[in-house]
Amino acid sequence: MILAGAAFLTLAMGYIGLPRNLAEFVRSLGLSPFMLMLALALFYILLGCFLDGISMVVLTMGVILPTVQAAGFDLIWFGIFIVVVVEMAQITPPVGFNLFVLQGMTGKEITWIARVTMPFFFLMCAMVLLLWFVPQIATWLPSKM
C-alpha cells in the first residue's frame, strides 16, 4: 500500500511540476552544496522520528532527486549518503523504528534504548561527514567496474 501510494503521489507531483519547482526554489536560495546536504540530513532525521526508512525514501525521492541532480551531485554518492542518513534516522526517538526492534529483542524500556544508541547516532553523523569530505569512499568501487 505504501509503494502504491508513493507511486501515485510521485506521479501527481510530477503532473503539477512540484519537483521542478522545488529544485528551482532550492537553487534560488543559493545554498552551498554542503548546506544542501546538511539540510537534507536534518530533514531525514526529522522524518525518522515519525516514519520507517522505506517510507521516507519512497515518499521523498520524487521531490528530492531532481533537486540533488540540479545541484550536480554524483547519484551513486547520494545513494550511499541517503542509506547512511536513513539508518541514522531509524534510531531517533520517539518513533525510530530500530528502537522498537531493539526493545522487542531486549525487553528494556525505550528511553534506555534511545540513550544507549546515541553513541551510534553520533558515529553515523561522523560517517556522513566522512562521506562528505572523502567522497571516494562511496565512489571508488563503482568507478572500478
Q: With 90 as the cut, is the pLDDT of residue 130 above it?
A: yes
Pick from 84, 76, 77, 79: which is nearest to 125 by CA?
84
Average pLDDT over residues 105-130: 90
Percent of the chain whose predicted confidence (pLDDT) is above 70: 90
Average pLDDT, the chain: 84
Between helix 75-89 and helix 110-133 the angle, nearest 10°, is: 160
pLDDT at residue 4, rounded to an integer: 75
Average pLDDT over residues 35-43: 89
- Give the range among 68-72, 80-84, 132-136 with minimum mean pLDDT: 68-72
Q: With 90 as the cut, is the pLDDT of residue 32 above it?
A: no
Distances, alpha carbon 139 to alpha carbons 31, 74, 80, 130, in Å = 24, 9, 9, 13
Average pLDDT over residues 86-111: 85
Report residue 59's pLDDT band, with 50, 70 and 90 as the boundaries: confident
pLDDT at residue 6, rounded to an integer: 65
Q: Provide the whole-model pTM.
A: 0.78
Q: With 70 as the cut, is the pLDDT of residue 10 above it?
A: no
pLDDT at residue 132, rounded to an integer: 92
